[in-house]
A and B are shown apart, each in its own frame.
Chain A
Amino acid sequence: MPDLPPLARAAHAAHCLRCLQALPDSQIEVDASRMALAFYCIGTLDLLCLLQEKTRETDREAWREWIWEQQTSGRYGSGFRPSPFMTPALRAPEDPYTDYDTPHIIMTYTALLTLAILRDDFSRLDRPGLLDFIRACQRDDGSFCTVPGSNETDLRSLYCAFAISHMLDDWSAVNTSRAIAFIASCRSYEGGYGQAPFCEAQGGTTYIAIASLHLVPHVQAPLLTAAERELTIQWLVRNQHPAGGFSGRTGKDADACYCFWCGAALQILGAGDLVDARALAMFLANCQFKYGGLAKAPGEHPDPYHTYLSLAALSMYMPASALASDQRHAASWTFEPLDPLLNARVETARWARKYIPAPPRG
């Protein structure tokens, strides 16, 4: 097998730093999800352990301020909006939000993780408001909507509600048995999970389902039978292509992001050692864009989403451990461990779990 080329760490950091500075008009669709983009960019720097080196304390302080500015409260509780894309200039910060500028549950999850990466102390977090917000997002069928009252509901928002409850160490806002029943209704005969009941098995939503099931505390019965677990592992493992990358669905092409989604689901199921890490790294090596960033597949254009998820995959499947230490580029492929349940560097996840819960009274 050919040698791995170097992983262009500095160039990938530079790609994300450029996006943090400004985006061209062609990226207009990010307007309503800018918080997630911030997470992928700042998260990339965290995974590369380049945050301190490549940014100044004043930058990090300014980013924290911007994120806190997106925390907003009103009739459905508190959480984070994606950006001020619906906020008028003259609105006073203490005014309640309108129904068209509410917090968004996916943005709230990414905001909390980004603040943890930036080592915020979370003294400004409105915890009771956040619980109200999660409560307002759960629907009768156990699923969660992205913004209160919206029809847009699928497994992604459910995972975010679970991850937030986990970080808060407070599950009082979630009806877990209904939510678990909803997850089960998304399971497909192939062994993966679809984004809603009756949908085709897909790598991203399978990660979401498996991670959510493992985030729930104090569950008596096993959430998956032994046979279900084996079938899911089998399906996930089959998604690794001979060229090393993972596909998101049976018969589709490999895509860098599924190296994370399928790879992380396997880690959570305790089956990470079944992945061919060397081939996975070779695929991602070929997804590198020559001016920085990683793309979904070789020859495509890079973006922070695929860059972050590729590096998160490498943090779990380090080829360095499979490489001889004298191999030339081994150091560039070395990462700190990742927490697959929260999708953050272990140290960042530890920070989140320490500072996001309500401080003890008294």
Chain B
Amino acid sequence: MPSPASSSDTSSALYAERPEWKDVTPLPQYEDANPIAPIFYSEEYKDATDYFRGIVKTGEKSERVLELTESIIRLNPAHYSAWQYRYETLLAIKAPLDVELKLMDELAVSFLKTYQVWHHRRLLLMLTGNPGPELKFITESLKVDAKNYHTWSYRQWLLAFFNDDDLWAGELDFVDAMLVQDVRNNSAWHHRFFVVFQSGVREGETERGRIVRRELTYVKQNISLVPNNPSAWNYLRGILDFNNLPYSRVEDFVRPYAGTTTDGSTTDLVDLENPPPSTNAQLPCSAAIEFLADIHEKEGGKDRVLQAIALWRSLADEHDTIRKKYWEYRIREALKSVKE
């Protein structure tokens, strides 16, 4: 069976020159005398869109419309009307959706940053109801761009929309593999938070205390390997905030990262709860200073607040000067609370 996707051999000829399109009246685009920012269309684009307006006018939905809309999409993937008409055509002629998805596998990589490619894919998945193979496709396309916003959003949508235990089963391993590749990939940290905390409690994950401990260990280990990683510090905050745990719970862990030297004497003792920074880590870590100051502030009391102020001072003057005004604001606010 000829596939509508394999039409590249004929697409070199203009539609106006092809006998099988003779019955369609092309409709040129309306344009008045003084357009704003007119685009010098290529002959190919003008030709295909003229025929497309002609097709829309007659309402034809047929196999050849798939070819025509594909031509337009390849020239301009942001042409949302071509996508919309293509989708309706697929439905009307009951086109094989596996063929369409195969074409989308290719287009998604070519047009990774175009909204429409991903929206079309969602529509198709809602029709097929078969999300299984999608996770592998997403993992593959993240190899092209590991932080692509659309790709990650699509994965989050897919998991939440179908909410199938089999789909969720491999997610932690997947995130872990992504973080092993690049521990600074915030999209992967975000996805981990989504999977573990934001998307509800699944079977096998009902002992929340154990899950929280597991996640704390995970993020601490990762900070210990790469301390200057804001994504991991945000994840640590996220765990504590989401579970209403006091920041002081991780004070012993945070403290060495806010200091200037690693204490060599303790490195023989492996403390799994509080993995220390490696001896070659760049210290102090400004995220840790900030975290420690937040712990002091939240614990409250004059001594604690004064310790927080000293830490903010060091950020403002030395370790994070771009945010000097922010740290000074924190100092002002804290001083108010001490006086009250």
A199/B152 contact (C-beta < 8 A), A28-B75, A190-B190 known: yes
Determine if A198 is an interface residue (Cβ-Cβ < 8 Å).
Answer: yes
A88 touches B53 (CB 8 A): yes
Q: What is the size category of the interface that chain B forms with chain A? A: 35 or more
Closest chain B residue, CB of each to CB of A199: B153
B153 touches A250 (CB 8 A): no
Of the candidates B39, B234, B241, the one having the most CB atoms from chain A within 10 angstroms of its own CB is B39
Assembly CA distance A34 to B321 (angstroms):
41
Determine if B198 is an interface residue (Cβ-Cβ < 8 Å).
Answer: yes
Interface hits, B77-92 → A, CB 8 Å:
77-81, 84-85
Interface hits, A274-295 → B, CB 8 Å:
274-276, 279
State which of A3-11, A145-153, A257-265, A342-350 sits at the interface with chain B: A145-153
A198/B157 contact (C-beta < 8 A), A28-B42, A86-B56, A86-B81 known: yes
Residues of A contacting B56 in the complex (Cβ-Cβ under 8 angstroms): 86, 98, 100
Residue from A29, A37, A88, A99 within 8 A of B30 (CB atoms): A88
B324 touches A276 (CB 8 A): yes
The binding surface of chain B is classed by DSSP as helix
Q: What is the size category of the interface that chain A forms with chain B? A: 35 or more
Determine if A124 is an interface residue (Cβ-Cβ < 8 Å).
Answer: no
A32 touches B190 (CB 8 A): no
Determine if A168 is an interface residue (Cβ-Cβ < 8 Å).
Answer: no
A198/B199 contact (C-beta < 8 A), A151-B119, A276-B323 known: yes
Interface 1/0 per residue, B25-59 and A, CB below 8 Å: 00111111011111111100100010001001100
Assembly CA distance A65 to B37 (angstroms):
14
Residues of A contacting B160 in the complex (Cβ-Cβ under 8 angstroms): 197-198
Residues of B contacting A90 in the complex (Cβ-Cβ under 8 angstroms): 27
Assembly CA distance A31 to B319 (angstroms):
47
Determine if B329 is an interface residue (Cβ-Cβ < 8 Å).
Answer: yes
Residues of A contacting B76 in the complex (Cβ-Cβ under 8 angstroms): 28-29, 31-32
A20 touches B37 (CB 8 A): yes
B157 touches A196 (CB 8 A): yes
Residue from B32, B116, B184, B322 within 8 A of A279 (CB atoms): B322
Interface hits, B285-335 → A, CB 8 Å:
321-326, 329
State which of A127-135, A211-219, A236-244 sits at the interface with chain B: A236-244
B323 touches A251 (CB 8 A): no
Closest chain B residue, CB of each to CB of A20: B37
A198/B198 contact (C-beta < 8 A), A29-B77, A84-B31 known: yes
B36 touches A38 (CB 8 A): yes
A30 touches B39 (CB 8 A): yes
A100/B81 contact (C-beta < 8 A), A25-B45, A151-B123, A190-B234 known: yes
Assembly CA distance A273 to B324 (angstroms):
11
Assembly CA distance A32 to B114 (angstroms):
12
Closest chain B residue, CB of each to CB of A91: B30
Residues of B contacting A22 in the complex (Cβ-Cβ under 8 angstroms): 37-40
CB distance from B89 to the nearest CB of A (A): 12
Determine if B267 is an interface residue (Cβ-Cβ < 8 Å).
Answer: no
A274 touches B329 (CB 8 A): yes
B78 touches A32 (CB 8 A): yes
Determine if A202 is an interface residue (Cβ-Cβ < 8 Å).
Answer: yes
Residues of A contacting B123 in the complex (Cβ-Cβ under 8 angstroms): 151
Residues of A contacting B153 in the complex (Cβ-Cβ under 8 angstroms): 194-196, 199-200
A66 touches B42 (CB 8 A): no
A29/B78 contact (C-beta < 8 A), A22-B37, A250-B234 known: yes
Residue from B27, B40, B80, B326 within 8 A of A23 (CB atoms): B40
CB distance from A185 to the nearest CB of B (A): 10
A251 touches B41 (CB 8 A): no
B80 touches A152 (CB 8 A): yes
Determine if B156 is an interface residue (Cβ-Cβ < 8 Å).
Answer: yes
Residue from B28, B32, B53, B324 within 8 A of A86 (CB atoms): B53
Closest chain B residue, CB of each to CB of A275: B325
B30 touches A202 (CB 8 A): no
B37 touches A34 (CB 8 A): yes
Determine if B162 is an interface residue (Cβ-Cβ < 8 Å).
Answer: no
Assembly CA distance A66 to B30 (angstroms):
12
Assembly CA distance A242 to B56 (angstroms):
52
Known pairs A22-B38, A189-B198, A198-B160 / 17 extra A-B pairs, C-beta < 8 Å: A25-B40, A34-B39, A63-B34, A90-B27, A91-B30, A100-B84, A101-B81, A150-B80, A150-B119, A189-B237, A190-B190, A199-B153, A201-B190, A238-B230, A242-B321, A242-B322, A274-B326
Nearest 6 CB-CB pairings of A with B: A189-B238, A62-B34, A88-B27, A200-B190, A87-B30, A250-B186
Q: List 17 A-B contacts (CB under 8 A).
A: A22-B40, A23-B37, A28-B39, A29-B77, A63-B34, A99-B84, A189-B193, A189-B237, A189-B241, A196-B153, A197-B160, A198-B156, A238-B230, A240-B323, A251-B231, A271-B329, A273-B329
Residues of A within 8 A of B (CB): 19-25, 27-34, 37-38, 41, 62-63, 65-67, 69, 83-91, 98-101, 146-147, 150-152, 188-190, 194-202, 231, 235, 237-238, 240-242, 244, 249-252, 271, 273-276, 279
